[in-house]
Amino acid sequence: MVNIGLIGFGKTGKVIAGELLNEPTVNLQWVLRRTHTEEGEFAGQLLGLHKNEGAIYSSEGLDYDAFFSQHPVDIVVDFSHYSTIGVYHQAIKKAGFGLVSAISNYPEEGIEKINDIAGTARVLYSPNITLGINFLIVISEVLQKIAPWADIEIIEEHFRSKPEISGTAVRIANVLGLTHEKHINSIRIGGIVGKHEVIFGLPNQTIRLTHETNNRAAFGQGIIFGIKYLADKGPGLYSMDQIIKEKFVANIMAGSFN
């Protein structure tokens, strides 16, 4: 059983909490949310699962050193805001907890803190932690190596109120060695959770690789996959696309995908 603490209880955080609460191999010990709303209650009850699990605390004015000391866990899952890591960075290093982060738009100093934590603890960081999008990244990388002459464009579609460029699209561009400004095309419309498409233009044919997140539960399922992967891993920085690539290569070498 892996003991988990969750930072973030917004729209997506609640869905992730539900996935964690329904997973028999993990135990959601606590949830940190920005406000004092529902503090002292249990996520397992608030989400209609009738479980006294996932005690809710407020992060407002929180002493993270004291909190982590009093509420130890194996792994902290962060699905809050890119600025939050600046608050708990030193405390999580001191506590020695693992970290799974799916924040999509860390600035450079946030990435530096991720790497710093990974120097002494196991850290899984991916801007998009769904299995499908990371499979798309790996296949796109393979296709680019097969046809390096192809024209490549990335299209990302999200809900109308999402202000910033998709961190997932930036990740795809970085892996493929493409400039963000020239090769990422953004669409904001309706309530789209997230859709990414990589288009390869070759002479006489076009290849489109598409991934669409239909439900935020996909993020929770990806997090659970990552937690299980980290179970026997030592300190270091891991990413979902690296995990997919590792398993992809291992199965090819074994001659089987069983």
| E strand map for the chain | 2-7, 26-33, 55-58, 75-78, 98-101, 122-125, 151-158, 184-188, 194-202, 205-213, 236-238
pLDDT tens digit sequence for 85-128: 999 999 999 999 999 998 878 889 999 999 999 999 999 999 88
Domain covering 2-125+217-240, topology: Rossmann fold (3.40.50)
d(CA 59, CA 30) in angstroms, rounded, equals 12
How confident is the model over 165-187, as pLDDT tens digits? 888 999 999 999 999 889 999 99
Residue where the block lists tokens 């191999």: 25
Q: Does pLDDT of 142 surpass 90? A: yes
Global confidence as pTM = 0.88
In whole numbers, what is the pLDDT of the chain averaged over residues?
93
- What gap in Å lies between CA 224 and CA 239, rounded to an integer? 14
The domain at 131-213 falls in which architecture?
2-Layer Sandwich (3.30)
Write out the DSSP string of 161-217.
T--SPPHHHHHHHHHHT--HHHHEEEEE-TT--EEEEEEEEETTEEEEEEEEE-STH
Express each pLDDT in 216-256 by its tens digit.
899 999 999 999 999 999 999 999 989 998 887 777 666 65
Spell out the domain ranges in the chain. 2-125+217-240, 131-213
